[in-house]
Each structure stands twice: as structure tokens, then as C-alpha cells.
């Protein structure tokens, strides 16, 4: 999941960036309204965290321009003001949620998860894909009740694949949503990380869930063929 | 009691009361003028008929058709016929027209007759519904002497009384009608004249904290209502300005205080989320320390500002040697200036060898203005500090070549936490209340800070004060 963080205060931005990266989000930081707008149009973010009091262009202006330009990414507003005037304006302009500074990091992360979840059809923070279970709050992954330890990037890749389960995702799509703007497009980083993930998710088990679709990309298959009786049953019930 | 009646009603009732008074006075006067005139005209008829009889020496023919016709011509048809008679001093009638009236000759008439003067008298008759009689008594004078004979001519006052009664009727009728009409018109008129006031109060009640930009429509006529509307509008201007300042201040102050708090909390929470390396803990603690120091500066400045603005600080005056003071001041801002690569150029005018001020407060004030000048200067620009006098008082002028102050920002630059650019980059340093503090401290000296600025060409801050003479 890739997040655009718009915050002018360097110290605060640094904390948020580090926190979000620790939670395996890819984070781009914009220190002012102009850059926020440019980045917002340039990259397909899964969430925008927007401080309202930013230089050059106010947060509300950025929000308005992005929404008018057809960017429908969920927006979480940050404000330091007591008055709810700006919050109301922001929500009316198309923001999805807000937080008042100073905020609790856990609450911020919970709201981030909720906003990202809302885009799909999920109802809770635990994604249940039959054999594979992902707890998005604790960043825990288990397959057939075996807990699997993943690095932040591996987890982010898996979560993105899981959110689009059954859909073929191109390398560009994966890089755009799992990596931040420092990603080197000509590299084979995506393939490398898919390799790492396979080693942990698929190798110890009988079936491989991560499929390569030649010429297109990768896909997470929740009920892979070629398996035991149990697999067939699961497949039938899936169908 | 009167104050409980609505003003509309009070005005129209007061109006009506005075109208009634005027009606009554005018009616009374009119009635008496008419009455007087009517009596005079009756008296004139009586006198001229009596004089005609006397001149014609109507000695024989009082009781004749000719006399009847003569009187009829004078007085017209009456219920009691007019009469004429010739009486002597004892009151005995010697000749008379054909009538039954028999009145005594009064003492007054006799006295006046002896002087050769006529007299007029009114007699009420005993018969019911009969109008009083008016009678003239004219002495017959021959060769300048009263002969002892009197000509009396009388006529009924019925038509006079009839006219009087009619006038009275008209007056009594017109009084309540006129009064009623004037009350109604007065009420409508006051209501109409007060309508703009009602409109205004409605417009005023619509004004709230949410929207202070509404203004009352100003009527075209230059009257009290226009005056009222303009006064109200000016008050709204001041209210709006004060309200906007307050709102901006609360917004700014919460931003300025909450941002470092958010950093403190966030850094702490982040550090404790999981086991970290000693370096990471150190970085976190350094950030926390830096933010805490920043908050400390801000809180101290705010406290000093509050105390200075409420004049709750002890103000003491010292005689200061200009050279030493300026050199200390320059030393205190030097680190910031060299870091930003801004040159500070000092000009000391010889006219100011020493001056009287509170050294501590003046240093803080001038330092804040100098730091502000540095903050708004680009690298390699120059800031001038000119120390001199203006007339008898010391004056410090600080000139920068920075971006200047926009005209619309000029009234607000001394407001706490005001920043001309919405950029609130705390990296630029300062607590955000430097200039407010400077102004408060200069005001403690009884002085002023004048600001001149051309956008794009820098700004000039002129600090001057007059030290008290009784030191």
C-alpha cells in the first residue's frame, strides 16, 4: 500500500514516515501544497494523509484540485486547529476522515487501515483467504495455521496481492503500490521480492498460491489446483 | 409605566394628546370669535334701526304697518317679532309697536342714557324654549340735552343661538373624528418610519459568529437612520476585525503548540513500538530534547508577553552607554546572522552617547526585530542597524532588503503567531511571537515601533521612546 504524506513540519513528517514504513507502507513525502498536488496526480496512491496548514497551497486547495482532477484516493486530514470549520470544509470537499494534532500513532494507523480497507469489500482487519490468513493490524501472516515471518516489503507485496486476489497484477502495478518514489523502474526488484515471498509462502507447502502469468505479471490464487483431496473440496466450495 | 408602552403607541398617543389640546384651544377660540361677531352684527342692526327711528322722528307711528315692515326688513321673520317702543324715564311706555313684551328700564340703561350713550342688554325670557331677547336703549337727545325719552328696539336672539349651537355641534363632532384620524395616521406613520429600524434589528440578529461580513443597507436620505446604519456598520467592521484576529490567534496558537507536542508524542510512541538499537533511541531522545527546548522558548516568550502586555513586570530605568549596548546586542544575534550569511551593518550616530532604557527589555525587543529581519533576508543580503536620535529621543532603525510586507499583512504583523506566509516552517526558528513581544516591551518604555515597507524591497522598523524625565 502506498501512501502520500503531506506535512510541512520536518520533524513530524519524519516521525510519520518512519512509523508508516515500519508498518510496511510505501511512503512519499510532500512538504508543501504544490508538491503534494504534483505527486497526487503523478502516482496512484492508496491513501493521502493531508495536513491542512501547509505552505504555498493550503491543504483544502490541494484536496479540491485533486478531487476535481479525478483523483479518488481516500484522504485523511490532519489539523492542529480547535475549530472544526476546516474539517467540515475538508470532508465536504471529499476527504474521508480526519485527525486532530497531537494524535496517537496507533489511532492514526488504525484509521489508515480502515480507509485502505474501505476501498475493497473487507469488513475487518483480518483477511481470510481460505488457507492463507493475513492480520493487517498486526502484520501477521499464517498459512494452514503455520505463522510465517515476512519482512516489511514482503508483507506489503503479499497484502497488495491479497487485496486483489484472483486478479493478475502487472509489475508496474506492484511497483507503484508497494514501493515509494525511490523505486528504480528498470530494475527487477519486483521479481526478486516475488521470489522471496514464494520461498516463504509456497515452498513449504504442497501448492503454490502465487502464480506467474507469462507476459502479464503475478496473481494470488486462493485455491490452487493440483493438490490433495482436501484441496479439491476447498476448490469445489470456492466454485 | 410609560416606558412599558411600545414606542409606536407612545408616539401616536402623545401625538394625539397634543392634537386634542390644539383642537380644544382652537375650537374654544373659534366659538368665541364667532359668538362675538354674531352679537356684534345683531347689535349693529338694533342700533342702526333705533337710530333710523330716532332720526325719522317716528313720534306718532310706532303702532303702524309701516313700522312693522321696517322692523321686518331689518330683522327678518322671527318667532318673537322684533319690536320698538318709546319710553320715558319712569319706564312708562308712551308708544309701541304691536307686541306683548314688557321689560323694565334698567339702572344701567338709565345711567348711560343720561350721558347720551346707547346701551345693549340681553334678557332671558320666562317662556320655555324661547331664545333670549337683545334690546338696545337709545336716548333721544335734542340740542345736546337728554330729553328724558328713550327709544328701545328689541329682537330675539334665536337665529344667533341656532348658529352657535350648530357651530358647537360641528366642533364636538370634529374633535373625536379628527382625534381618531390623527391617532390612526400617527400610528401608521410611526410604524412606517420605524420600519427601517425593524429591518435593521432583523439584519443585526442575523449576524452571528459564523458570518460577520453582513452589513446593513445604508438609506439614501441623510438622516438619523442613515447615521444609525453607518454607526452599526462601523461597529461590525471593528467586531469582525477583532473576531477574525481572535480566531486566527486561537488557530495559530493551537497549531504552534500542538505541532511540537505531536512531535514529542509521536517520537516517544514510535521509539517504544518495538526494541530498537541504541542509535535509534539516541536520535529519538535528541529530537524530543530539541522540541522540548523549542517549547520552552515559546512558553517563556508567551509568559513574558502576557506579563508585559498586562504591565505586570517591574520596569526599571538605567542609563546605558550606546556603544557597549549596541556591541552586546550585535554579539547576541551574530550566530544567526552568520548561519544565514546575512551581513549586519551598524551605524552609530555620534549624537547618541548614552540613553535611558531598561537594558534587558530593550535588548530582547531589538534582538527580536533583528532576528526577524534576518529571517526575512536571503543569504548575502544586508541588514542595517542605525542608532541615532529623532529630535530629543533615541531611535533605533532596522532596515532589511528582504521580501517586505504585503500591504494587507501590515496591520497584523504584531499579532502573536501571525506569519505573512502561511508557511509555518518551524525550521525558520523563533517562537512566532518575537514581534509581538518586541512591541509589548517597547510599549513598556512608553515607546512605539513604526513599520514601513514596500513589498519586494524590504522593511524598516523604527523603535523610539521618550525616557521619563524624573529619574
- A-chain residues near B258 (CB < 8 A): 80, 100-102
In chain B, residues with a C-beta closer than 8 Å to the C-beta of A103 are 262, 265
For chain B, state the CA radius of gyration.
52
Alpha helices in chain A (DSSP H): 10-22, 33-42, 59-68, 85-92, 105-119, 152-163, 171-178, 189-201, 229-238
Q: Which residues of B touch A7 (CB under 8 A)?
A: none
Residue B53: per-residue pLDDT: 82
CB A95 within 8 A of CB A50: yes
Greater confidence (A5 vs B19) lies with A5
The residue that leads in pLDDT, B363 or A239, is B363
Residues of A in contact with B267 (CB under 8 A): 11, 15
Do residues B49 and B71 lie in contact, with contact meaning Cβ atoms separated by under 8 Å?
yes
Q: Does the pLDDT value for residue B20 go beyond 80?
A: yes
Chain centroid to CA B45: 63
Considering only CB atoms, B262 lies closest to which of A58, A82, A102, namely A102
Alpha-carbon separation of residue A193 from A178, A189, A198, A218 (angstroms): 11, 6, 8, 12
Question: Can you list the alpha helix ranges (DSSP code H) found in B310-424?
Answer: 322-340, 359-375
pTM of the model: 0.61
Query: Which of B243, B259, B268, B285 to substitute to test the interface with A, most A CBs within 10 Å?
Result: B259
Q: Which residue has the higher pLDDT, B344 or B211?
A: B344
Q: In this complex, do A106 and B426 lie within 8 Å of one another by their Cβ atoms?
A: no
Mean pLDDT of A26-52: 92
Helix axis angle for A33-42 and A59-68, nearest 10°, is 20
Burial A24-33 (b: 16+ CB within 10 A, else e): bbbbbbbbbb
Whether the CB-CB separation of A49 and A30 falls below 8 Å is answered with no
- pLDDT of B60 over the 70 cut: no
How far apart (Å, rounded) are the C-alpha atoms in residues B416 and B28?
76
Task: Report which of B399, B426, B421, B413 is spatially closest to residue B343, judged by C-alpha positions.
Answer: B399
Contact (CB<8Å) A102/B258: yes
B427 in contact with A, Cβ within 8 Å: yes
* Summary mean pLDDT of chain B: 84
Taking the CA of residue A231 and the nearest CA in chain B, the distance in Å comes to: 38
pLDDT digits (tens, 9 = 90+) for B226-264: 888 888 889 888 888 888 888 878 877 887 888 888 899
B277 touches chain A (CB under 8 A): no
| Cα atoms in the Cβ-side hemisphere of radius 13 Å centred on A42 | 12
Q: Is the pLDDT of residue A66 over 90?
A: yes
Please tell me the distance in Å from A201's CA to the nearest CA on chain B: 25
Residue of A nearest to B261 (CA): A102
- Residue contact B251–A15, C-beta within 8 A: no
Residues in A touching B287 (Cβ below 8 Å): 11, 14
A205 vs A222: CA distance, rounded Å: 13
Is the Cβ–Cβ distance between B118 and B138 less than 8 Å? yes
pLDDT digits 0-9 by tens, B71-130: 777 777 666 777 888 888 777 777 777 777 777 778 888 888 888 888 888 888 777 677
Does B291 contact chain A (CB < 8 Å)?
yes
Chain B's closest residue to A85, CA to CA, is B210
User: Model confidence at B66, in pLDDT bands (50, 70, 90)?
Assistant: confident
Query: Using the beta-carbon criterion (under 8 Å), do B273 and A82 form an inter-chain contact?
Result: no
Give yes or no for a contact between B47 and B39, defined as CB atoms under 8 angstroms apart: no
B263 touches chain A (CB under 8 A): yes
pLDDT band at residue B428, thresholds of 50, 70 and 90?
low
**For residue B45, pLDDT beyond 90:** no
CB-defined contacts A:B, below 8 A: 82
Taking CB atoms and an 8 Å limit, are B263 and A81 in contact across chains?
no
Distance from C-alpha of B327 to C-alpha of B110, rounded to nearest angstrom:
124
Could you report the per-residue pLDDT of A120-168, keeping only the tens digit for each? 666 677 888 878 888 888 888 888 888 888 888 888 888 888 888 888 8
Rounded average pLDDT over B201-220: 77
Q: Rounded to a whole number, what is the distance in angstroms from the first to the last CA of chain B?
A: 61
B425·A101 Cβ contact <8 A? no
**Do the chains contact at B259 and A9, CB–CB below 8 Å?**
yes
Question: Residues in chain A whose beta carbon is closer than 8 A to a beta carbon of chain B?
Answer: 8-12, 14-16, 18-19, 22, 32, 53-56, 58, 80-83, 100-106
Q: How confident is the model at residue A76 (pLDDT cuts 50, 70, 90)?
A: very high
Q: What is the pLDDT of residue B2?
A: 67
**What pLDDT is attached to residue B112?**
84
**Contacting residues of A for B291, CB less than 8 Å apart:** 11
CB contact under 8 A, A106 and B269: yes
B residues 192-251 near A, CB within 8 Å? Answer: 247, 250-251
Cβ–Cβ of A80/B262 closer than 8 Å? Answer: yes
Q: What is the pLDDT of residues B292-331, one digit of tens each?
A: 988 888 888 889 988 888 888 888 898 989 999 999 999 9
Q: How large is the ipTM?
A: 0.71
| Residue from B246, B255, B260, B292 whose CB has the most chain A CBs within 10 Å, to mutate | B255
Handedness of CA B365, B367, B371, B373 (dihedral sign): positive
Distance CA A32, CA A51 (A): 9
Question: Which residues from B are below 8 Å from A22, CB to CB?
Answer: 270, 273-274
CB atoms inside a 10 Å sphere around CB B40: 11
> With an 8 Å Cβ cutoff, are A105 and B273 in contact?
yes
Q: Is the pLDDT of residue B178 over 90?
A: no
Amino acid at each position: 500500500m502506498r501512501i502520500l504524506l503531506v506535512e510541512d513540519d520536518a520533524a513530524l513528517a519524519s516521525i510519520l514516515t518512519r512509523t508508516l514504513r515500519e508498518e510496511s507502507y510505501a511512503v512519499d513525502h510532500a512538504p508543501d501544497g504544490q508538491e503534494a498536488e504534483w505527486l497526487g496526480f503523478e502516482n496512484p496512491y492508496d491513501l493521502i494523509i493531508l495536513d491542512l496548514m501547509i505552505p504555498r497551497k493550503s491543504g483544502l486547495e490541494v484536496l479540491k484540485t485533486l478531487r476535481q482532477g479525478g483523483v479518488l484516493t481516500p484522504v485523511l486530514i490532519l489539523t492542529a486547529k480547535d475549530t472544526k470549520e476546516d474539517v467540515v470544509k475538508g470532508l465536504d470537499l471529499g476527504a474521508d476522515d480526519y485527525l486532530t494534532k497531537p494524535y496517537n500513532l496507533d489511532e492514526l494507523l488504525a484509521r489508515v487501515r480502515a480507509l485502505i480497507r474501505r476501498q475493497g469489500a473487507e469488513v475487518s482487519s483480518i483477511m481470510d483467504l481460505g488457507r492463507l490468513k493475513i492480520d493487517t493490524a498486526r502484520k501477521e501472516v499464517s498459512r494452514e495455521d503455520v505463522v510465517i515471518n515476512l519482512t516489511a516489503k514482503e508483507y506489503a507485496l503479499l497484502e497488495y496481492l491479497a487485496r486483489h486476489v484472483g486478479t493478475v497484477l502487472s509489475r508496474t502495478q506492484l511497483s507503484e503500490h508497494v514501493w515509494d518514489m525511490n523505486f528504480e523502474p528498470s530494475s527487477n526488484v519486483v521479481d526478486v521480492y516475488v521470489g522471496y515471498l514464494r520461498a516463504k509462502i509456497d515452498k513449504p507447502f504442497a501448492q503454490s498460491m502465487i502464480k506467474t502469468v507469462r507476459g502479464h505479471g503475478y496473481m494470488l490464487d486462493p485455491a490452487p489446483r493440483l493438490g490433495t483431496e482436501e484441496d479439491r473440496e476447498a476448490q469445489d466450495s470456492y466454485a | 409605566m410609560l416606558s412599558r408602552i411600545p414606542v409606536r403607541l407612545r408616539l401616536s398617543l402623545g401625538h394625539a394628546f397634543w392634537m386634542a389640546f390644539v383642537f380644544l384651544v382652537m375650537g374654544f377660540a373659534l366659538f368665541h370669535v364667532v359668538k362675538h361677531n354674531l352679537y356684534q352684527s345683531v347689535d349693529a342692526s338694533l342700533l342702526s334701526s333705533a337710530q333710523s327711528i330716532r332720526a325719522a322722528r317716528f313720534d306718532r307711528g310706532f303702532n303702524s304697518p309701516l313700522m312693522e315692515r321696517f322692523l321686518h326688513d331689518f330683522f327678518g321673520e322671527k318667532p318673537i317679532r322684533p319690536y320698538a317702543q318709546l319710553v320715558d324715564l319712569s319706564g312708562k311706555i308712551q308708544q309701541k309697536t304691536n307686541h306683548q313684551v314688557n321689560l323694565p328700564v334698567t339702572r344701567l340703561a338709565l345711567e348711560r342714557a343720561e350721558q347720551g350713550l346707547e346701551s345693549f342688554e340681553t334678557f332671558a325670557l320666562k317662556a320655555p324654549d324661547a331664545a333670549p331677547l337683545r334690546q338696545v336703549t337709545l336716548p333721544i337727545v335734542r340740542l345736546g340735552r337728554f330729553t328724558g325719552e328713550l327709544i328701545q328696539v328689541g329682537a330675539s336672539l334665536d337665529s344667533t343661538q341656532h348658529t352657535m349651537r350648530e357651530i358647537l355641534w360641528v366642533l364636538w363632532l370634529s374633535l373625536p373624528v379628527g382625534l381618531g384620524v390623527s391617532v390612526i395616521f400617527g400610528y401608521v406613520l410611526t410604524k412606517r418610519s420605524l420600519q427601517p429600524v425593524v429591518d435593521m434589528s432583523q439584519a443585526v440578529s442575523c449576524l452571528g459568529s459564523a458570518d460577520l461580513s453582513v452589513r446593513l443597507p445604508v438609506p439614501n436620505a441623510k438622516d438619523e437612520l442613515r447615521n444609525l446604519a453607518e454607526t452599526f456598520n462601523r461597529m461590525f467592521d471593528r467586531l469582525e476585525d477583532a473576531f477574525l484576529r481572535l480566531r486566527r490567534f486561537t488557530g495559530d496558537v493551537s497549531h504552534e503548540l500542538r505541532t511540537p507536542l505531536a512531535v514529542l508524542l509521536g517520537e516517544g510512541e514510535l521509539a517504544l513500538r518495538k526494541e530498537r538499537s541504541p542509535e535509534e533511541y539516541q536520535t529519538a531522545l535528541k529530537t524530543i530534547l530539541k522540541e522540548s527546548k523549542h517549547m520552552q522558548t515559546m512558553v517563556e516568550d508567551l509568559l513574558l508577553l502576557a506579563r508585559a502586555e498586562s504591565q505586570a513586570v517591574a520596569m526599571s530605568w538605567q542609563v546605558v552607554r550606546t556603544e557597549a549596548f549596541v556591541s552586546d546586542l550585535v554579539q547576541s544575534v551574530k550566530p544567526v546572522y552568520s548561519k544565514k550569511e546575512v551581513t549586519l551593518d551598524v551605524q552609530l550616530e555620534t549624537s547618541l552617547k548614552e540613553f535611558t532604557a531598561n537594558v534587558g527589555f530593550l535588548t530582547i525587543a531589538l534582538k527580536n526585530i533583528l532576528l526577524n529581519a534576518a529571517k526575512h533576508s536571503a543569504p548575502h543580503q544586508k541588514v542595517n542597524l542605525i542608532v541615532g536620535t529623532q529630535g530629543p529621543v533615541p531611535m533605533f532603525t532596522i532596515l532589511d532588503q528582504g521580501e517586505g510586507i504585503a500591504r494587507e499583512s501590515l496591520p497584523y504583523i504584531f499579532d502573536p503567531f501571525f506569519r505573512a506566509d502561511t508557511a509555518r516552517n518551524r525550521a525558520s526558528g523563533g517562537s512566532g511571537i518575537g514581534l509581538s513581544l518586541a512591541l509589548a516591551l517597547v510599549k513598556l518604555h512608553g515607546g512605539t515601533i513604526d513599520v514601513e515597507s514596500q513589498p519586494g524591497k524590504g522593511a524598516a522598523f523604527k523603535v523610539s521612546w521618550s525616557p521619563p524625565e524624573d529619574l
